[in-house]
Amino acid sequence: MLRTILAILFIIDSLGICITVLMQKGRDSGLGAIAGSSDTYWDKNKAHSLEGRLVLITRIMIVVFFILALLLNMKLF
Over 80: is that where the pLDDT of 14 sits? yes
- For residue 30, tell me if it sits in a domain: no
Which domain covers residue 57, as residue numbers?
A: 1-7+41-77
Task: Evaluate whether residue 24 is within a structural domain.
Answer: no
**What confidence tens digit (pLDDT) does each residue in 27-47 have?**
665 555 565 555 666 566 666
Residue at 27 is within a domain = no
User: First-to-last CA distance in the chain?
Assistant: 9
Task: Tell me how far apart the alpha carbons of residues 66 and 72 are, in angstroms, rounded to a whole number.
Answer: 10
Share of the chain above pLDDT 90, in %: 53
Query: What's the number of domains the chain is made of?
Result: 1
Residue 75 domain flag: yes
What pLDDT sits at residue 39?
60
